[in-house]
Copies of this chain bind each other. A is one copy, B any other.
């Protein structure tokens, strides 16, 4: 007998994009993203008034961390802004650096912001029917610039791991903010990068 996981099939709910069967669900509220948005005063003001909105949810079908296995995750990123900044996911490098990831857009639209440790930046659009390839050594953050939920399926090695700390420490080199009702990528005054 071969070892390892069995094949499986899962449907994505046509209305929500969420896998009809998933194993783990994570909910990230504003308080979980303390230190990630640029306007800390705005964040603390909201939290101080008892407002702690859900920013995103992740529905995972993980495999044990092991070379050669793939995990699946569906991210539902809510629409909204923190100050001028659109809602985003924390963003992370893979802890195991030579690993890729693929996003398949299911609902809504936004930007996948990518960045290398030496500060190169690539903002790529993602919408339903779009695909984004994240090569090794590119941190990635999803940003919802739309009016509805942004939903996408991620496929990644089960042993890729997450390095959130580098992003929390240095930020991304760019911020995606609303200016005149439109998204605009601006230089992050405190972030590193080119």
CB-based contact B14/A133 at 8 Å:
no
- Contact residues in B for A101 (Cβ distance below 8 Å): 70
Q: Which of A72, A114, A131 has the most CB of B within 10 A?
A: A131
- A4 sits at the interface (CB 8 A): yes
CB-based contact A133/B12 at 8 Å:
no
User: Beyond A2-B116, A11-B129: 6 further Cβ-contacts under 8 Å?
Assistant: A7-B122, A7-B134, A8-B132, A9-B126, A68-B100, A70-B100
Residue of B nearest to A17 (CB): B129
Main secondary structure of the interface of A (DSSP, over half): strand
- Contact residues in B for A127 (Cβ distance below 8 Å): 11
Q: A117-B2, A133-B7 are in contact. Are A99 and B12 (CB under 8 A)?
A: no
| 6 contacts across the A-B interface (CB closer than 8 A) | A7-B132, A9-B112, A9-B125, A9-B130, A68-B98, A70-B155
Copies of this chain: 2
CB-based contact A9/B124 at 8 Å:
yes
Q: Which of A11, A69, A116, A133 has the most CB of B within 10 A?
A: A133
Chain B interface: which of A47-55, A135-143, A181-189?
A: A135-143
CB-based contact A131/B98 at 8 Å:
no
- A19 sits at the interface (CB 8 A): yes
Bound Cα distance from A138 to B137, whole angstroms: 29
CB-based contact A136/B4 at 8 Å:
yes
**Interface code A28-62, partner B: CB below 8 Å = 1, 0 otherwise?**
00000000000000000000000000000000010
